[in-house]
Amino acid sequence: MIKMEDNVIEEMYARHFPLISREEQEKIAKKRVTVVGAGALGSWEAYFLKKLGVENIRVIDRDFVDITDLPRTAYEKEDIGKPKVDALKEKLGILGYFEDLNPGTMEILDGSDLVMDGTDNIYTRELINDYCVKNRIPWIYVGILSYYGNIMPIIPRKTACFRCMIPSLPSRPMPTCATEGIMSYIAPFAASLAVALCAKILLDEKIDNKMIFFDLKNMEFNKIEIPKREDCECCAYGNFIFLKKIIKIERDCEGAFIVTPPERMNVNIDEIEIKLKNLGKEYINLKRFIQFMDDDKKIIIFDSGRMVIKGAHSEKEAKNIFVRYMGD
Amino acid sequence: MALVKYFATLREITGKREETVRGVKNIKELMQLLINRYGDKFAKELRDRAMILVNGKNILHIRDMDTEIEEEDVVSIFPPAGGG
């Protein structure tokens, strides 16, 4: 509900009303939208959802604001060191969950009218997809890198789902904004497009079921048709494997964390070496595995995707390190 | 003569947005030709993550790497972005 006085609403959304009705503005206000991830994409998505007039915004994230976040996120200097969800809560009054989305925390998405993708990895997107297809919740896939981005509406039973497009986890780490770079204006641009699409879905407007691809290096837009896959394990057969699988984290007798992915990943160790070299880390490449230091933590990545982390203080920290290097 | 369109990072690797290619029967031959032309970096982008569309249709929905390429076909190669 819009909680302000009627005349304030009239005034505040005066520039919306030539385009949408007051009833439509109120409909938007009543919807519950959940944003998964509060990094570059997620922080701007939450920001633009609030500007659109969505009152019930939930954001899930388990990271803290860092100085490197400032150019491309909605955070400011005074937010450094705060949990991202707390910073957004102060700015926007959202409901924040300092959590990582995993098969054990999916209930955070319960009751959503729409889920927005603010994540930075394929695994979490597959999780969102399984949950949303299973529970028939529309969601919007958004991905960005360097000068590029793509946005795709996923409407269960109507459009292709994420797994129609990416049927399994990539066997090697996907390029990330940390390794490939990202210009500051890409995330807010993608988030704005995604919120525009969100508004259309919330108002039951007709949407084009295509993936939007943008290239701000060449100032070019394309729409790409992503057909529904007849034999899709997720949307055709209802096999929601990602909701069942969990990254396993154990501790060995010396206190090192051993992180095992849900399925064998066939990691290309030489590619990890290149990334480490670019990051200026010291490493030893032994072909089947690579050993390196990340600050005070000693890390070994095996070609199966298994990772041993010595010096991490908690399971959460170990999982964060795993996600940073393995993309899921 | 097929038209090959590149998206996202493939534009930086190839230095092109599109080009025409002759004398390839299917996607496998086309990919081999492009890997020979653009090298390891192109191959790495393709492996695992790039979507290949023929006339807008994902080859996973046709005959995968055996999908035939006819004259006038448009092949789009698209690595979905994973960052956020």
Question: Which structural domain, as residue segments, surrounds residue B45?
Answer: 14-78
Quick one: closest CA in B to A324, which residue?
B83
Residues of A in contact with B44 (CB under 8 A): 271
State pLDDT tens for residues A274-303.
Answer: 888 888 888 999 888 999 998 889 999 998
Q: What is the mean pLDDT of residues A71-93?
A: 97
Is residue A105 pLDDT above 50, yes or no? Answer: yes
Q: Which residues of A touch B78 (CB under 8 A)?
A: 213, 224
pLDDT in tens, A17-35: 999 999 999 999 999 999 9
How do the domains of chain A map onto residue ranges? 31-242, 247-326
Q: For residue A3, what pLDDT band results from cuts at 50, 70 and 90?
A: low
pTM above 0.90, yes or no: no
Q: What is the pLDDT of residues A177-204, one digit of tens each?
A: 887 889 999 999 999 999 999 999 999 9
Which of A175, A227, A271 is the closest to B57 by Cβ? Answer: A227
Cross-strand bridge partners of residue A300:
A291, A308
Query: How far is the C-alpha of A211 from the C-alpha of A248, rounded, in Å?
Result: 34
| Chain B residue whose CA is closest to A190 | B84
Query: How many CB contacts within 8 angstroms connect chain A with chain B?
Result: 92
Q: Is B8 on the interface with A (CB under 8 A)?
A: yes
Residue B63, domain CATH: 3.10.20.30
- Say yes or no to pLDDT of A1 above 50: no
Number of domains observed in the structure of chain B: 1
For residue A271, the chain B residues in CB contact (below 8 A) are 44
What is the full per-residue pLDDT of chain B (84 aa) written as tens digits?
899 999 988 998 999 999 999 999 999 999 999 999 999 889 888 876 788 989 888 887 778 889 999 989 999 998 888 888
Give kind and range of the element (H or E) at residue B29: helix B27-46
Residue B15 in contact with partner chain A when CB distance is under 8 A: no
Q: What is the pLDDT of residue A116?
A: 98
Tell whether B59 is covered by a domain. yes
A95, pLDDT greater than 80:
yes
Two domains, one topology: A31-242 and A247-326? no
In a domain? residue B83: no
Q: Of residues A261 and A84, which shows the higher confidence score?
A: A84
- The token pair at A141 is 């896939």
In which band, very low, low, confident or very high, does the pLDDT at A246 lie, cut at 50, 70 and 90? low
Q: What is the DSSP letter of B48?
A: T
Residue A245 has a pLDDT of: 63
Does the domain at residues A31-242 carry the CATH identifier 3.20.20.140? no
**CA of B53, closest CA in chain A: separation in Å?**
9
Give the tokens for residue A300. Answer: 């070994």
In a domain, B39, yes or no: yes
* DSSP-assigned letter for residue B22: -
**Using the beta-carbon criterion (under 8 Å), do A144 and B81 form an inter-chain contact?**
yes
ipTM of predicted assembly, 2 dp: 0.83
Q: Is B16 in CB contact (< 8 Å) with chain A?
A: no
Record: contact A182-B83, CB cut-off 8 A: yes
Asked if the A247-326 domain carries CATH number 3.50.50.60, the reply is: no
